[in-house]
Amino acid sequence: MNYERQPYRRCGRSGLLLPAVSLGLWHNFGGGKSLDSQRAIFHKALDLGITHFDIADRYGPPLGAAESTFNRLLPRSLRDEVVVTTKGSNPMWDGPYGKGNSRKHLLATLDRSLTRLGLDHVDIYYLHRDDEETPLEEQVATLDHMVRSGKVLYVGVSNFSPERTEQAARLLRGLGTPLLVHQPSYSLLNRWIERSLLGVLEQEGVGCVVYSPLAQGLLTDRYLDGIPADSRAAEGRFLTADRVTPQVLDFVRALSAVATARGQSVAQLALAWALQDSRITSVLVGASSPEQLEANVAAVDRLDFTDDELAAIDRAAKESGVEV
């Protein structure tokens, strides 16, 4: 474990520190992938100071495979050196109790996650999304129960609106279990959290761990010359070809010029840009190889931006007609 490779940031007003770049297991840790390649990525993550691993009950395929894979990768001697997270809310089995944020579903899916992970607790448990059919009071009371049962250390929410996040934080505070973190989508192509969510998180003392900071690969060098045949967009995996518009490509090419001047790749620029806001605790990246992960973590070598660089990035978005 190399704790010197990257900075660690405090998660909201808690005592928990997270690395600036964390590893998400949404892609490449399901069935059909080589365990040896998955182990190589995991070991590289440790070498790069990544102590935070983000999973969800649904990640695979098949459902639950990422949790089972992580069980096989994590040496139990390192359990106290890493932060393991998982999430509930997702459709996981048939019938009325196999999805949603009812107390019945969440407690059942947490137990199933712990079994797949081979752990007696997770460090952070998220509501993966809001469930407007379940009273928010029931949702947060269930999170509080998880903590008091010893199966969860901290709780978070993901994909909640600013208003519902504020309500959840207030209700949890009343129960004595603070809301630790929110996990929203955020990137140079998706800046919605700047409008009000970040203000709510700062006010409530809640951390922010963002996913898709590279917009499913759009904010990389991969699409500068069009859509490669073996890319996610070409295969329709989490990114469809209709999102690779001329406007987006113009913007990415403009970002490439700024990145080159900074001595970075487009991906490194995009990650550094997300981290330049002190309210962002960590960015989640996926990885298909140890080399790709190492390149992404190198973003922390240059996190500072000049006013001119930030203005150039905003101007490029406006001139390209990109909706941010």
How many residues are recorded in the chain? 324
Q: Please report the pLDDT score of residue 236 as a whole number.
A: 54
Q: Tokens for 129?
A: 């999304």
Q: Please report the pLDDT score of residue 230 as a whole number.
A: 58
Structure confidence by residue, pLDDT tens digits, 198-221? 999 999 999 999 999 999 999 999
Q: What's the whole-model pTM score?
A: 0.94
Q: Tokens for 31?
A: 């069935």
Structure confidence by residue, pLDDT tens digits, 213-242? 999 999 999 887 766 655 555 455 566 667
- Give the CA radius of gyration of the chain: 19
Contacts 24+ apart (CB under 8 A), 191-197: 191/324, 195/162, 196/162, 197/161, 197/162, 197/165
Q: Mean pLDDT, the chain, as a whole number? A: 94
184 confidence band (pLDDT: 50, 70, 90) = very high
Mean pLDDT of 60-89: 98
- Tell me which residue of 26, 89, 75, 15 sits closest to 53, measured CA to CA: 26
Structure confidence by residue, pLDDT tens digits, 107-149? 999 999 999 999 999 999 999 999 999 999 999 999 999 999 9
Q: Please report the pLDDT score of residue 320 as a whole number.
A: 87
Q: Please report the pLDDT score of residue 224 as a whole number.
A: 79
- Tell me which residue of 61, 133, 70 sits closest to 92, measured CA to CA: 61
Q: How many helices (H) and strands (E) are present in the chain, helices listed first?
A: 11, 10
Per DSSP, helices labelled H in 183-265 are 197-204, 232-235, 246-262
Would you say residue 81 has pLDDT above 90?
A: yes
Q: Please report the pLDDT score of residue 46 as a whole number.
A: 98
Q: Please report the pLDDT score of residue 107 as a whole number.
A: 98
**Cβ(6)–Cβ(20) under 8 Å?**
yes
Structure confidence by residue, pLDDT tens digits, 254-301? 999 999 999 999 999 999 999 999 999 999 999 999 999 999 999 999
Q: Give the pairing of strands 21-24 and 8-10.
A: unpaired
